[in-house]
Amino acid sequence: MHRRSLSVLVGSTLVVTASVALSAGALGASGGGTSKVALREWAVAPAPASATAGKITFVVKNNGKTKHEFVVIKSDLAPAKLPVKNGRASEKGAKGEIGDLPAGSTKRLILTLPKGKYVLICNLTGHYQAGQRAAFTVR
């Protein structure tokens, strides 16, 4: 009789352990997300413009007629208020970027971002000042 009780106890322990492991895995998998970003003359359009903290994938498509780039900057400043020098915005707080992105092409940028405010820009000379910028929030 003791052997049967022991096997039931072991079986129950395995079920409980498996349930806890699955719950922990589900919690660890939460956060992050994907934002599709359209670049064009002279706009940056993220959809959605927010994500939860964690691993975020930016799928960036250049819908414009000229090359662009994509820079993610952590900043409490409004998108139009980044300091500018020699036709380029300050990249202080930059978390990642996609360099020259030819017209019609798409690239992915995967970043692990904490909660905060971000500015998404094209920082080729003059593009930021022409309006190629947008706010992005990580909550």
Whether 19 and 37 map to the same domain: the answer is: no
Whether 75 and 131 map to the same domain: the answer is: yes
Whether 16 and 67 map to the same domain: the answer is: no
- Residue-wise pLDDT for 88-97, tens only, equals 999 999 999 9
Number of domains present in the structure of the chain? 2
- Residue-wise pLDDT for 111-137, tens only, equals 999 999 999 999 999 999 999 999 999
Q: 3-state DSSP helix/strand/coil percent for the chain, to nearest 5?
A: 20, 45, 30
Whether 7 and 73 map to the same domain: the answer is: no
Whether 23 and 59 map to the same domain: the answer is: no
Cβ-contact 79, 119 below 8 angstroms: yes
Whether 47 and 5 map to the same domain: the answer is: no
Instruction: Assign 26 a pLDDT band (cuts: 50, 70, 90).
Output: very low
Whether 26 and 43 map to the same domain: the answer is: no
CATH number for 124: 2.60.40.420
For 81-110, what is the mean pLDDT?
Answer: 97
For 63-75, what is the mean pLDDT?
Answer: 97
Tallying the residues shown for the chain, one arrives at 139
pLDDT for position 30: 56
The CA distance from 25 to 34, in Å, is: 20
Instruction: Assign 32 a pLDDT band (cuts: 50, 70, 90).
Output: confident
Identify the domain containing residue 96 by its residue range.
Answer: 33-138
Whether 22 and 39 map to the same domain: the answer is: no
Whether 110 and 78 map to the same domain: the answer is: yes
Cβ-contact 66, 39 below 8 angstroms: no
